[in-house]
Amino acid sequence: MAESKPRVAIIMGSDSDLPTMTAAAKILDEFGIEHTMRISSAHRTPKMTAALAEGLEDAGVKVAIVGAGLAAHLPGVIASLTTIPVIGVPMSGGGLQGLDALYSIVQMPGGVPVAAMSIGKHGAKNAAILAAQILALSDPAIRDQLQEFRERQTQGVEEKDRALTAGEL
Amino acid sequence: MAESKPRVAIIMGSDSDLPTMTAAAKILDEFGIEHTMRISSAHRTPKMTAALAEGLEDAGVKVAIVGAGLAAHLPGVIASLTTIPVIGVPMSGGGLQGLDALYSIVQMPGGVPVAAMSIGKHGAKNAAILAAQILALSDPAIRDQLQEFRERQTQGVEEKDRALTAGEL
Amino acid sequence: MAESKPRVAIIMGSDSDLPTMTAAAKILDEFGIEHTMRISSAHRTPKMTAALAEGLEDAGVKVAIVGAGLAAHLPGVIASLTTIPVIGVPMSGGGLQGLDALYSIVQMPGGVPVAAMSIGKHGAKNAAILAAQILALSDPAIRDQLQEFRERQTQGVEEKDRALTAGEL
Amino acid sequence: MAESKPRVAIIMGSDSDLPTMTAAAKILDEFGIEHTMRISSAHRTPKMTAALAEGLEDAGVKVAIVGAGLAAHLPGVIASLTTIPVIGVPMSGGGLQGLDALYSIVQMPGGVPVAAMSIGKHGAKNAAILAAQILALSDPAIRDQLQEFRERQTQGVEEKDRALTAGEL
Amino acid sequence: MAESKPRVAIIMGSDSDLPTMTAAAKILDEFGIEHTMRISSAHRTPKMTAALAEGLEDAGVKVAIVGAGLAAHLPGVIASLTTIPVIGVPMSGGGLQGLDALYSIVQMPGGVPVAAMSIGKHGAKNAAILAAQILALSDPAIRDQLQEFRERQTQGVEEKDRALTAGEL
Amino acid sequence: MAESKPRVAIIMGSDSDLPTMTAAAKILDEFGIEHTMRISSAHRTPKMTAALAEGLEDAGVKVAIVGAGLAAHLPGVIASLTTIPVIGVPMSGGGLQGLDALYSIVQMPGGVPVAAMSIGKHGAKNAAILAAQILALSDPAIRDQLQEFRERQTQGVEEKDRALTAGEL
Amino acid sequence: MAESKPRVAIIMGSDSDLPTMTAAAKILDEFGIEHTMRISSAHRTPKMTAALAEGLEDAGVKVAIVGAGLAAHLPGVIASLTTIPVIGVPMSGGGLQGLDALYSIVQMPGGVPVAAMSIGKHGAKNAAILAAQILALSDPAIRDQLQEFRERQTQGVEEKDRALTAGEL
Amino acid sequence: MAESKPRVAIIMGSDSDLPTMTAAAKILDEFGIEHTMRISSAHRTPKMTAALAEGLEDAGVKVAIVGAGLAAHLPGVIASLTTIPVIGVPMSGGGLQGLDALYSIVQMPGGVPVAAMSIGKHGAKNAAILAAQILALSDPAIRDQLQEFRERQTQGVEEKDRALTAGEL
């Protein structure tokens, strides 16, 4: 995990979110995008969260990926203190199995957007891909990698289809 | 609305919440509990909200009643910056008709509680009564008023029942 | 678990709620707040529940924490028979996984409030913290403990963040 | 509305439930089943509700039809204090449009049943029909009326079908 | 399980509902209420279901307890072909975990009622108790048993409360 | 509306469903597909419904379009008594705004399928198009009409797009 | 699994859907209906999916059975590019346990229908039966098989009922 | 509305989405960001949609804002055919009031992200702000405008708060 000059910050509210958010880090590693991972809670460390959010842009971070569960205020709180794009990932689990986190992340009122992803690991992975898509707008190398990623992804499905047709699945 | 030495702060994220939150103010007025009403948004005025929350206790406020809709982060954000009790009121309206606000307010993770009320005016009214119940623990005058309020409330239902039985409804 | 002169009563509808509600007792123990734990069902022991609720204030109880699952009428039933603050904790489990209990606890009609917490152990823990916050309004020792609790909590997150940054997680 | 020697009690938590619950009274009138209508709130008049519930059987009431909205504890509270059948009708309206009342009425824990009907007027009407079906078990006159009611109902649909086929709708 | 002269019929759509519906049979056994158990599917054996429903009354059955999952049409289909009271029990399980069955059973349109119970075993148990409550209206022996059942149930909770207070739980 | 030799039967549980189901009839008219419209209730006219379902195939009906609201058992009941394809349309309205009807129609257990459409008029329109698609498998004229329908539909969107681009919307 | 001259195409978005969709293949095998199984993703292989959809009719496919999970766009995407009937099967699993897939499949806007089945294996099985019902309209052999399938299904339930009555379950 | 050299494309599935999506256009106008508005349906004009999506990048479009209702496949379909960031806006309305569209947009499987916004006009407005935030990463002028927008927004709330405190609301 590259730590110097991170362009993406992955922030989560609790270390229990780490297994999910690691899926985002893996994709960024695959793309060679420098990133940092932080734990900061909207409710238990509000000042650290505010300082972190306010410092993102000066630290050169271009996109923040923020995971949170239950009431899941963290992505919105960070988005309120920076103007870089904030991508929110709802954690699954808890009595409402992530629906609470999803609503809390996606239903932001007009004025301060958060880009909501799907619940859990799918969402964490997609957050990293979306971050790459955003960075690719001004970084042709990432754009090329995205094209290759998409092609590999397409080939993966094609290979599964071939295997199924061949009776190998 | 008494403004000097407020013991309860009613805070809402938008002036569109005012018609609902006024139901809380009315009850506090009825009980003669000094209160203040403020508009401060978790996302559009995060610093004002932080300053407001951090100043509540020093200003002599004992209970905060906080209304918010949609992602409804305001009650949790305020609760993270004070240790006085915070009561959250989910606004109705929006595509999910208040269910998003309810989940976002009630599903606080362990460590920072928000006392969630029902959606809309019922909740705003109950927030004020709960604030009175909390203040009554160390203020016998409010306790007496609560007893009278409960009795009037009981009599109101009994009167409706009498009217129904008498064929007047 | 201190039993003499309890200031908080933890009440639950069934002994199957005990593993969840113990999370509330632990926090109160940590704060040195005397409490009692009772099992009383809104539906199976309505008279015992009424007697319990009506006797809370005279017994010196300042706050009631009430856990219930499924139709979860217990917090509302107790709140209807006392004017001390009642905090409701929805149990998870059952076909609707706690959503039924959440709705039944939080959607109280105007006039008789219940302070709803999140579903399950998070909610039980928060109920105890909220009880402490209410008691702290007239007990500076608890207020100090709350401050320390918050600080330890903050440090816990900061330590996790440090460990993550150091590659130890 | 026949008031002497009521065999069915229609109870509702608020006079705002009256327009819905009148649908039950109309059906009972149609069947000539004596009934009484009462307003009593689980939360605002808990003692009156308890007295009412405990007196049902001695008053000769065979079935209780109980309507309630929001947290909707009334049917369960009454069921806990009598062993006559209790039929619960969830009111529509409120932020959750009756879903809260439905869950609170239908999700009774094992031991104290409430017979839940559909939300709103359909449910109120069905509550009265179910009460008639219960009474019909020991009253052949009501059984005959139920048969006629069913036949009229069947004919009503058949007539609509005929009219549609004839191009009259 | 008494089979001669059954007063209650327990009907389920599939043998996979048997473990749940057995909870109803156990309660009826406890009360000494003769019952029969049948498997008949609304969709896979529509004619057998119709014949079964139409024959209930002549067979001396006073109450039908009907369990079903998923689309759960069975209780409504049986209710449409008899005028004895029909109690519906939604099975848990499936992608929607019983919510589909609950809606399908409880949301009957005006004219043909089904008495909906809670999802799963709680509901099956309550269905049998409600059947006993209905039969008790004209059978004093069952009424006495219901009183004893309620008392044992109350004592069970009181004993748990005593054990908790004594530190035995 | 052509009535002789109907190939599609549109069946609804109540005349209140007529404004919605007319959307299906209009599409069939547009395609020149003979159809009949009937009102028959699963619960209020179970025998007429059974007779209707059992007679569909002999009457030459190839596809049944069945609309129902609330518990919405009608499509499943008809599907259990015929082997021609049954398309179900959930009505909107009622306390759960069609979600109950949707679940009841779509969650059929394995063995007896119902093809569920979207809630309300969109679903009624699509039911007719799907019926046409099924008939088109053995009727080239309908297939040609479907192609033209699709083309007109495509052109309609293209025209709207052109108008928007031209600043006419 | 017969591969030559397939009349039904079973398409799924991922090989993780295979255990569910195999339930459809088994039923088609039982009926002797030639089918093909393909993996093609709406999002990861959009062009392959378009080519597959556009080629269905020319390949002689009469009905497409399409399974998808989460956002579940695959059935709608295929339906937009062919006029043969498309049957959609929502996969269970994911944070919303198939409810997302169900909504995405069933709530098609007017103009392009998808026939939605129930979530998971029940739905996959029913998709195959519905495909058989559609093919049976012009293939008497399949119609006969459907009749036999229904009869075996009926006998299966009757046998379970007999076993239960005989005390063998 | 500037049409030359658009950097943002606003795409919607139907002209009925125009009143909602205009909220996005207004914000982009305010920021002076060139944009184009298009109507293209995932289901009714799949080829036009594919062509549009595949041409976005070559046309110089940096961000696509895509609104859709009901099954709401349009954002995902466009995202599958481009690697520029796609922001999805769920339309409210329909039987499920936008919840279907929300799930369909936000629950994208891993590999192809869509940035989901809140339901309706709030979401359309936020989509434009997020697009501006993305463009601002390489366009300091937009970054300055975002700062000013945020400040005006903050001042707007502060002014409302001042007015409320002054008794002017």
pLDDT cut 90: percent of chain H above it: 95
Most E CBs within 10 Å, among D100, D137, D139, to test the E interface: D137
Residues of chain B with pLDDT under 50: 1-3
Residue of F nearest to G113 (CA): F126
Contact across the interface for A118 and G97, Cβ inside 8 Å: no
Contact B64, B31 (CB under 8 A): no
Chain H residues whose beta carbon lies within 8 Å of the beta carbon of residue G79: 43
Q: Do A76 and B100 touch (CB under 8 A)?
A: no
Contact H15 F156 (CB under 8 A): no
Minimal Cα distance from D111: which residue of E?
E126
| pLDDT < 70 positions in chain E | 1-4
Tokens of H82: 């481009």
Say how many C-beta atoms besides its own lie within 10 A of residue A149's C-beta: 18
Query: Residue A4: what pLDDT?
Result: 61
Report the pLDDT value the prediction gives residue G94, as an integer from 0 to 100. Answer: 84
Of H15, H70, H97, the CB nearest to F160: H15
The residue of chain B with its CA nearest to that of H156 is B44
The reply to whether D111 touches chain E by the CB within 8 Å rule is: yes
Q: Read off the pLDDT of residues C127-150 as tens digits, 9 standing for 90 and up.
A: 999 999 999 999 999 999 999 999
The reported pLDDT for the residue numbered E94 is: 84
3-state secondary structure string, E134-151? HHHCCCHHHHHHHHHHHH
Strand ranges, E, within F19-132: 35-39, 63-68, 86-90, 115-116
- Average pLDDT of A129-151? 97
Q: Provide the 3-class DSSP secondary structure of residue D81.
A: coil
Nearest to B114 by CA among B153, B88, B80: B88
Mean pLDDT to the nearest integer, C144-161: 97
Say whether residue F59 is in contact with chain D using an 8 A CB cutoff: no
CB contact under 8 A, F18 and D164: yes
Pairwise CB contact (< 8 Å): E15 & G102: no
Inform me whether the C-beta atom of residue G37 falls under 8 Å from chain A C-beta atoms: yes
Instruction: Determine if the pTM surpasses 0.90.
Output: yes
Q: Which of B44, B113, B15 is nearest to A76 (CA)?
A: B44
Q: Per-residue pLDDT averaged across G86-106, rounded?
A: 95
Q: Kindly report, residue by residue over G11-22, the tens digit of the pLDDT.
A: 999 999 999 999
Q: For residue E94, list chain F residues with Cβ-Cβ distance below 8 A.
A: 107
Q: pLDDT class for H4, splitting at 50, 70, 90?
A: low
**Residue C37 confidence (pLDDT) above 70:** yes
H118 chain-A contacts, CB cut-off 8 A: 106-109
Contact yes or no for D118 and F70 at CB 8 A: yes
* Residues in chain A within 8 Å Cβ distance of H102: 106
F3: pLDDT strictly greater than 70: no
Q: How far apart are CA D163 and CA A81, in angstroms?
A: 65
Those residues whose C-beta lies under 8 Å from the C-beta of residue E131, and which sit 6 or more positions away, are E8, E24, E28, E33, E62, E63, E65, E87
Chains E and D touch (3+ CB pairs under 8 A): yes
Give CA–CA dist D99/D107, Å, rounded: 12
pLDDT tens digits along A46-73 = 999 999 999 999 999 999 999 999 999 9
For C87, C145, E7, F86, the CA distances from C141, given in Å and listed in that order, are 22, 6, 65, 70
Neighbours of E127 (CB within 10 A): 31
Whether residues F138 and G137 touch (CB distance < 8 A) is answered with yes
Its ipTM equals 0.96
Contact D95/B at CB under 8 A:
yes
Smallest Cβ–Cβ distance between B113 and the set C62, C113, C129 belongs to: C129
- DSSP-assigned letter for residue B36: E
Give the up-direction half-sphere exposure of residue G8: CA atoms within 13 A in the CB hemisphere. 29
CB contact under 8 A, E111 and F44: yes
Q: How far is C35 from chain A (nearest CA, A)?
A: 26
C160 in D contact zone (CB under 8 Å): no
pLDDT in tens, D31-45: 999 999 999 999 999
- Which two tokens mark F32? 């020149």
At D108, give phi and psi (nearest 5°): -60, 135
Amino acid at residue number C110: G
> Mutate which of H16, H45, H73 to test chain G, going by most G C-beta atoms within 10 A?
H73
Please report the pLDDT score of residue E5 as a whole number.
Answer: 86
G106: chain F residues, CB-CB within 8 Å: 102, 106, 116-118
**Chains interfacing with D (3 or more CB pairs < 8 Å):** B, C, E, F
C137 CB near a chain B CB, below 8 Å? Answer: yes
Task: Determine contact, residues G66/G131, Cβ cutoff 8 Å.
Answer: no
Chains near A (3 or more Cβ pairs under 8 Å):
B, C, G, H
Check CB contact of C12 with chain D, cutoff 8 Å: no
Residue in A39, A70, A95 nearest the CB of C160: A39
What band does F94 get if pLDDT is binned at 50, 70 and 90?
confident
Q: Nearest CA to CA, how far is C141 from chain D (Å)?
A: 35
Checking if the pLDDT of A1 tops 90, the result is: no
Task: For E58-87, give one letter per residue: b (16+ CB within 10 A) or e.
Answer: eeebbbbbbbbbbbbbbbbbbbbbbbbbbb
pLDDT tens digits for range C73-86: 999 999 999 999 99
Contacts of H14 in chain F (CB under 8 A): 157, 160
Rounded Cα distance between D138 and G167, Å, is: 32
For F103-127, how does the pLDDT look when each residue is reduced to its tens digit (9 = 90+)? 999 999 999 999 999 999 999 999 9
Tens digit of each residue's pLDDT (9 = 90 or more) over A99-136: 999 999 999 999 999 999 999 999 999 999 999 999 99
* Weakest-pLDDT range from C128-132, F158-162, G2-6, G150-154: G2-6
Q: Do chains B and H touch (3 or more CB pairs under 8 A)?
A: yes
pLDDT band at D93 (very low <50, low <70, confident <90, very high): confident
Q: Kindly state the average pLDDT of the residues H132-150.
A: 97
b or e along A107-123 (b: 16 or more beta carbons within 10 Å of the residue's beta carbon)?
bbbbbbbbbbbbbbbbb
Cα distance between residue E133 and residue E73, in whole Å: 25
Among F1, F71, F64, smallest CA distance to E75 is for F71
Per-residue pLDDT band for D3 (boundaries 50, 70, 90) equals very low
**F117, F120, F110: which is closest to F131 by C-alpha?**
F117
pLDDT, one tens digit per residue, over H19-73 is 999 999 999 999 999 999 999 999 999 999 999 999 999 999 999 999 999 999 9
> Average pLDDT, whole number, for chain B?
96
Q: Do F164 and H44 touch (CB under 8 A)?
A: no
CA–CA–CA angle D74, D79, D81 (5° rounding): 105
The whole-number pLDDT of residue A94 equals: 84
Arithmetic mean of pLDDT over chain C: 96
Residue E77, chain C, CB below 8 Å: the answer is no
Tokens encoding H89: 């806006």
Residues sharing a CB contact under 8 Å with residue H91, sequence separation 6 or more, in sequence order: H17, H20, H67, H68, H69, H70, H72, H98, H101, H119, H120
Tell me: pLDDT of C3 over 60: no
Q: How many Cβ contacts (< 8 angstroms) between chains B and H?
A: 54
Q: How far apart are CA C78 and CA C43, in angstroms?
A: 12
Is it the case that residue A98 has pLDDT exceeding 60? yes
Copy the structure tokens of residue G78. 């295929």
pLDDT digits (tens, 9 = 90+) for C46-83: 999 999 999 999 999 999 999 999 999 999 999 999 99
**Phi and psi, residue H77, nearest 5°:** -65, -45
Q: How far off is chain C from E46, nearest CA to CA, in Å?
A: 28
Q: Return all residues near A76 (Cβ < 8 A) that are at least 6 apart.
A: A88, A104, A105, A108, A112, A114, B42, B43, B71, B73
User: Scanning every residue of chain F, which has its alpha carbon at the shortest distance from the alpha carbon of G154?
Assistant: F111
G75: which chain H residues are within 8 Å (Cβ-Cβ)?
A: none
On whether any CB of chain E is under 8 Å from the CB of C94, the answer is yes
CB-nearest to H157 from B41, B71, B94 is B41
Which residues in chain F are closer than 8 Å to G102, comparing Cβ atoms? 106
G contact test, residue of H80, H86, H96, H105 with most G CBs within 10 A:
H80
- Does C41 reach chain B within 8 Å, measured CB to CB? no
CB contact under 8 A, H38 and F165: yes
Cβ of residue G120 closer than 8 Å to a chain E Cβ: yes
> Please, which chains are in contact with C (at least 3 CB pairs closer than 8 A)?
A, B, D, E
Instruction: Round to whole Å and give the CA distance between H41 and H39.
Output: 7
Helix (H, G, I), strand (E, B) or coil at G71: coil
Per-residue HEC secondary structure of B84-129 comes to: CCEEEEECCCCCCCCHHHHHHHHCCCCCCCCEECCCCHHHHHHHHH
User: To the nearest whole angstrom, how far is the Cα of C136 from the nearest Cα of chain B?
Assistant: 8
CA distance, residue F66 to nearest chain H CA (Å): 18
Q: What is the DSSP secondary-structure string of C26-92?
A: HHHHHTT--EEEEE--TTTSHHHHHHHHHHTTTTT--EEEEEE-TT--HHHHHHTT--S-EEEEE--
Contact C103 D99 (CB under 8 A): yes
> pLDDT digit string (tens) for A77-95?
999 999 999 999 999 988 8
Does residue H79 contact residue H108 with C-beta atoms inside 8 Å?
A: yes
D92 inside 8 A of chain C by CB: no
B44 vs A41, A71, A111: nearest CB: A111
